[in-house]
Amino acid sequence: MLQQVNGHNLGSDGQARESLREDLQEFLGGEVLLYQLDDLTKVNPVTLETVLRCLQSRYMADTFYTNAGCTLVALNPFKPVPQLYSPELMREYHAAPQPQKLKPHVFTVGEQTYRNVKSLIEPVNQSIVVSGESGAGKTWTSRCLMNFYAVVAASPTSWESHKIAERIEQRILNSNPVMEAFGNACTLRNNNSSRFGKFIQLQLNRAQQMVGAAVQTYLLEKTRVVCQAFSERNFHIFYQICKGASEDERLQWHLPEGAAFSWLPNPERSLEEDCFEVTREAMLHLGIDTPTQNNIFKVRRKAAPLTFGRDDGPLS
């Protein structure tokens, strides 16, 4: 019995492959402008090649979001695109009668979940899963969603409500440099790779205004403290301490100038993430005062590679 696939009767695997090849050539060489396909479900036939060609065409046209049914595919532009995340654009998606009819965007996902909460008599928690490989832009996407909710989940008539939402957003954003310092590292594929998972919970009241937030971390790659792959680095915080500590702090923490540590490979690499002051400033904004910070860094020195990794013997 002959099978029918995409309108072709196939009597063998060879015929099926030939039919698929013809469909591919027709799709890729046809009149359809691939960058205009804003949903991958419109791609026909659906193969790895056609999907990647469609995403590549949209990327070349500076279009970085594409729907895949109910999933949003985001491509990292690797360049600033400020107009793509402006407050005006946030309000446009928030005010749209049907935001899904607008161009695919992370704001569409944010608005849909926000409306799901508003439309229910008994609000049900909504979840957004941001996943992807290292360097795909997960942290940036999470940051954009928080910015969006800080704008839309504030009362337009209450200055106090707006300031509360803004303050909550700022506290969450201030937590990023701290979590990245203690939980991110330079890998082969990404200079600022998160070596842990993060769950951010934004809390709304019955008027759908932001009133609180909580951040949980999990699955920290603890083994990286003592074992790093070739050409990779340990967690940022150790390099920040070594490069950013003052002379008095070096004496206090027993860090001789120019000392080398076997558990801190590739210290000569200079990264934007090596800024110790950014981490300390963020800790202050989170309510961690200077004496507490110093105690934390002392613990890091005693419990982490700084104590036992020096090439010419342990520090203490």
CB-CB contact of 287 with 273 (8 Å): no
Q: 224 with 239: CB under 8 angstroms?
A: no
Q: What is the pLDDT of residues 52-89, one digit of tens each?
A: 989 998 999 999 999 999 999 999 998 889 999 999 99
How far apart (Å, rounded) are the C-alpha atoms in residues 143 and 106? 11
Same domain, 164 and 218: yes
- Domain span including residue 48: 32-75
Token digits of residue 96: 């749209």
Greater confidence, 151 or 95? Answer: 95
The CATH number of the domain holding residue 165 is 3.40.850.10
CA distances from 143 to 4, 147, 192, 229, 272 (A): 47, 6, 15, 29, 19
CB of 234 closer than 8 Å to CB of 305: yes
Query: How confident is the model at residue 312, as a pLDDT?
Result: 38
Torsion sign (Cα): 240, 241, 242, 248 = positive
pLDDT band at 278 (very low <50, low <70, confident <90, very high): very high
Checking if the pLDDT of 304 tops 60, the result is: no
Element containing residue 67 per DSSP (H, E): strand 65-68
Enumerate the H helices of the chain as residue ranges.
13-28, 48-60, 87-95, 106-119, 138-152, 159-183, 236-244, 247-253, 276-285, 290-303, 305-308
- In order of 103, 152, 202, the CA distances from 87 in angstroms are 16, 10, 19
Domain assignment present for 215 = yes
Whether 3 shows a pLDDT value over 50: the answer reads: no
> Residues marked as binding for ATP?
132-139
Same domain, 81 and 147: yes
Q: What's the one-letter identity of residue 279?
A: T
Q: Is residue 213 part of a domain?
A: yes
Residue 86 token pair? 């402006």
Q: How far apart are CA 252 and CA 185, in angstroms?
A: 26
Is residue 118 domain-shared with residue 64, that is, in the same domain? no
pLDDT over 70 percentage in the chain:
82
Residue 236: inside a domain:
yes
* Each residue's pLDDT tens digit, 214-244: 889 999 999 999 999 999 999 999 999 999 9
Three-class SS state of 64: coil
Q: What pLDDT sits at residue 166?
A: 76
pLDDT grade for 313, boundaries at 50, 70 and 90 = very low
Let me know whether 106 and 253 are in one domain.
yes
Pair 161, 122 in one domain: yes
Q: Which of 150, 222, 156 is nearest to 185 (CA)?
A: 222
Looking at the structure, tell me whether residues 51 and 147 fall in a common domain: no
Instruction: Identify the H or E element spanning 200.
Output: strand 197-204
Instruction: Say yes or no: 95 and 166 in one domain.
Output: yes
Q: Which residues are annotated as a binding site?
A: 132-139
Instruction: List pLDDT tens digits, range 125-145.
Output: 899 999 998 888 888 898 899
For residue 152, count other CB atoms closer than 10 A to its CB.
22
Are 179 and 283 spatial neighbours (Cβ–Cβ below 8 Å)? no
Residue 10 falls within a domain, yes or no? no
85 and 64 within one domain: no
pLDDT tens-digit readout, 33-42: 788 899 999 8
| Same domain membership, residue 195 and residue 87 | yes
Alpha-carbon gap, residue 296 to 308, rounded angstroms: 18
- Output the average pLDDT for the chain: 83
Beta-carbon contacts of 250 under 8 Å, excluding residues fewer than 6 positions away, are 256, 257
| 263 and 163 belong to one structural domain | yes
Instruction: Answer yes or no: is pLDDT of 120 > 70.
Output: yes
Q: How far is CA 23 from the centre of its chain?
A: 36
The better pLDDT of the pair 5, 16 is held by 16
Domain membership flag for residue 24 = no
Burial (CB count within 10 angstroms: exposed 0-12, middle 13-18, buried 19+), residue 180: buried
The DSSP code for 267 is: T
The first and second tokens of residue 60, run together, are 């070349």
What pLDDT, on a 0 to 100 scale, did the predictor assign at position 10?
46
Q: Are residues 141 and 263 in the same domain?
A: yes
How is residue 248 annotated by DSSP? Answer: H
* Higher pLDDT, residue 302 or 121: 121
Which whole number is the average pLDDT over 187-206? 88
Q: Exposure string (b/e) for 91-125, b if CB count within 10 Å is 16 or more?
A: eebbeeeebeeeebbbbbbbbebbeeeeeeeeeee
- pTM assigned to the model: 0.73
In a domain, 266, yes or no: yes
**Res 182: pLDDT:** 94
Domain count, the chain: 2
